[in-house]
Amino acid sequence: MATKKTKSSIRPLRPGSGWTYAPAPESAAIARIDEQYELFIDGKWQKPSGGSYFDSINPANEKKLYRAALANEKDVEKAVTAARKAFDKYWKKMPPAERGKYIFRVARLMQEQARELSIMETLDGGKPIRESRDFDVPMACNHFFYYAGWADKLEYAFPNRTPKPIGVAAQITPWNFPLLMAAWKIAPALATGNTIVLKPAETTSLTTLKLASIIQEADLPPGVVNIITGAGNTGAALVRHPGINKIAFTGSTAVGKLIQQETASSNKKLTLELGGKAANIIFSDAPIDQAVEGVVNGIFFNQGHVCCAGSRVYVQESIAPIFLQKLKDRMATLLVGDPMDKNTDIGAINSAEQLEKINYYIRLGKKEGSLHYENTATLPKKGFYCRPTLFTKVAQSSRLAQEEIFGPVLAILTFRTEDEVIEKANNTPYGLSAGVWTDKGSRIFNMSKRLKAGVVWANSYNLFDPTSPFGGYKESGYGREGGLHGLSPYVTF
Partner 1 sequence: MKKPQNRISVLKTYKLYIGGQFPRTESGRSIAALDAKGNKIANLCMASRKDGREAIVAARAALGGWNQRAANNRGQILYRIAEMLEARKDQFIAELQLQGLSRVAALAETNGAIDRWIYYAGWCDKYQALFSTVNPVASSHYNFSVCEPMGVVTIFAPTSPLLGLTSVLAPCLAGGNTAVVIADEKRSLCAISLAEVLNSSDVPGGVVNILTGSKAELLPWLAEHRDVNALVYTERDPATLSSLRTRATGNLKRVIHWPYTNWSLNKAQSPHLIMDLQEIKTTWHPIQQITGSGASY
Q: Residue 45 forms beta bridges with which residues?
A: 40
Using CB under 8 A as the binding rule, whether residue 428 contacts partner 1 is answered as no
- Alpha-carbon distance values, 273 to 57, 122, 276, 280, 469 (Å): 26, 23, 10, 20, 12
**Are residues 101 and 84 in contact, defined by beta-carbon separation less than 8 angstroms?**
no
**Binding region for partner 1 (CB under 8 A) out of 104-112, 261-269, 276-284, 353-361:** 261-269
444 binds partner 1 (CB under 8 A): yes
- CB of 251 vs partner 1, minimal distance in Å: 13
State the angle between helix axes of 96-112 and 137-148 in degrees (0 to 180), rounded to the nearest 10: 160
Choice from 174, 188, 304, 483 touching partner 1 (CB under 8 A)? 483
On the CB side of 92, CA atoms within 13 Å amount to 17
296 contacts 323 by C-beta, under 8 angstroms: no
> What SS3 state is found at 293?
helix
Which ranges constitute the DSSP H helices of 192-231?
Answer: 206-217
Does residue 463 bind partner 1 (CB under 8 A)?
yes
Query: One symbol per residue from 374 to 413: x for binding partner 1 (CB under 8 A), - otherwise; what is it?
Result: ----------------------------------------
Under rule CB under 8 A, residue 301 binds partner 1 = no
Q: How far apart are CA 308 and CA 347, in angstroms?
A: 18
Stretch in the footprint of partner 1 (CB under 8 A) among 103-111, 173-181, 327-335, 447-455: 447-455
Task: Please select the residue that binds partner 1; options are 272, 320, 377, 425, rule is CB under 8 A.
Answer: 272
Q: What is the DSSP secondary-structure string of 177-191? A: SHHHHHHHHHHHHHH
**Is 386 assigned a catalytic role?**
no
Burial of 376 (0-12, 13-18, 19+ CB in 10 A): exposed
Query: Is residue 473 within the footprint of partner 1 (CB under 8 A)?
Result: yes
The CA-to-CA distance between both ends of the chain, in Å, stands at 63
Among positions 265, 367, 381, 442, the unique one binding partner 1 when judged by CB under 8 A: 265
Active-site option among 273, 374, 404, 475: 273
Q: Tell me which of 121, 141, 307, 374 is the catalytic residue.
A: 307
With binding defined as CB under 8 A, does residue 471 bind partner 1? yes
Active site annotation includes 418: no
Q: Does 147 bind partner 1 (CB under 8 A)?
A: no
Report the residue from 213, 252, 260, 359 that binds partner 1 according to the rule CB under 8 A: 260
Subset of 17-76 contacting partner 1 (CB under 8 A): none
Region class of 320: left (phi > 0), else alpha (psi between -120 and 50), else beta: alpha
Which residues are the active-site residues?
A: 273, 307
Binding residues for partner 1 (CB under 8 A): 142, 158-161, 253, 256-257, 260-261, 263-265, 272, 274, 429, 444, 448-449, 453-460, 463, 465, 467-471, 473-475, 477-478, 480, 483-485
